[in-house]
Amino acid sequence: MILVIGWFFISRSILMWLLNSMEDYSQFFSLSVPVRLAISFLIIGSMSLVSVLWYTVQDQQEIEKRKRDAEQLAKEAELYKLRQQLQPHFLFNSLNSINALIGSAPQQARMMILQLSDFLRGTMKKEEQQWISLEEELDHLQLYLDIEKVRFGHRLSTFIKNETIGMKLPVMLLQPVVENAIKFGLYDTTDDIQINIAAVNENEQLMISVSNPFDLVSLSPQKGLGFGLSSIQRRLYLLFARKDLIKTETEGNLFITKIFIPQI
């Protein structure tokens, strides 16, 4: 309002000064005061309305962006935590095995240190990437399984079959599945056991199945998805917003975990 009156008086005095000599014109000028007032009021009003709207939208976008950033950050933190599945006891038990080998079989001790180093380096490197090729992931898992083979002597054998070409998967997704298979298949049993990992292309989805035997006596049938697997389910949900990408089944004393990874 003040702006309108201010503008009106300033323009009036400028025009008055310019049109001092022209009587008719200044008369018309005085007569059209209400109309011109209304017009200037409308112009300034709509301008301020537009600017108010514009700033509100800006603020809104800023808030939205911050919210999205916060959500993204929380999601990444959760994913990071879920990826941190490497169990410290695996590391300490491996070091204990190396300690034993140093006395009895120094060459083997050296080999195990190198395997463990390669495995740990691979694990750390992978923290930075989002997706890797299945071939790379399987090589990494082979290191892990080789270390377990040293720890448990001849009890563990593994069979890995990859029928896919050029498929990818999120980092550290398969690792916890295999760790889970080792936990129930190897740590909780006393017989010789075999762990099978098979990858196939199923309707352009990467399907990986991991099977391990388990001990029927000491494992509660009500257990369902162990902790390891429920965290994988959570990760798959965060990545793909789907809950049907992990399936488990039992066949006698075999436990089979299947994960499906859409290729994007």
145: contact with other proteins by CB under 8 A: no
- Measuring CA to CA, how many Å separate 10 from each of 16, 17, 30, 58, 66? 10, 11, 14, 33, 44
35: contact with other proteins by CB under 8 A: no
98: contact with other proteins by CB under 8 A: yes
153: contact with other proteins by CB under 8 A: yes
Sequence-ordered list of residues with C-beta below 8 angstroms from that of 80, at least 6 positions apart, any chain: 127
Q: Which of 21, 30, 107, 190 binds other proteins (CB under 8 A)?
A: 190
Pair 183, 86: CB distance under 8 Å: no
216: contact with other proteins by CB under 8 A: no
Q: Which of 85, 97, 123, 257 binds other proteins (CB under 8 A)?
A: 97
107: contact with other proteins by CB under 8 A: no
Q: Which of 8, 29, 131, 187 binds other proteins (CB under 8 A)?
A: 187
Count, residues near other proteins per rule CB under 8 A:
26
Q: Which of 145, 133, 255, 123 is nearest to 199 (CA)?
A: 133
* CB 258 to other proteins: min, Å: 25
* CB 165 to other proteins: min, Å: 38
95: contact with other proteins by CB under 8 A: yes
Distance CA 175, CA 169 (A): 11
Distance CA 242, CA 246 (A): 10
- Measuring CA to CA, how many Å separate 66 from each of 59, 69, 71, 76, 241? 11, 5, 8, 15, 22
Q: Which of 225, 221, 143 is nearest to 183 (CA)?
A: 225
Q: Which of 7, 29, 131, 152 binds other proteins (CB under 8 A)?
A: 152
Part in contact with other proteins (CB under 8 A); list of ranges 163-171, 216-224, 231-239, 240-248? 216-224
User: Which one, 151 or 168, has the nearer CB to other proteins?
Assistant: 151
99: contact with other proteins by CB under 8 A: yes
Q: Which of 132, 96, 131 is nearest to 116 (CA)?
A: 96
Q: Which of 2, 35, 103, 241 binds other proteins (CB under 8 A)?
A: 103
Helix H segments across 32-133? 33-83, 88-104, 106-126
Q: Which spans of this chain sit near other proteins (rule: CB under 8 A)? A: 88-89, 92-93, 95-101, 103-104, 150-153, 187-190, 215, 217-218, 220, 222
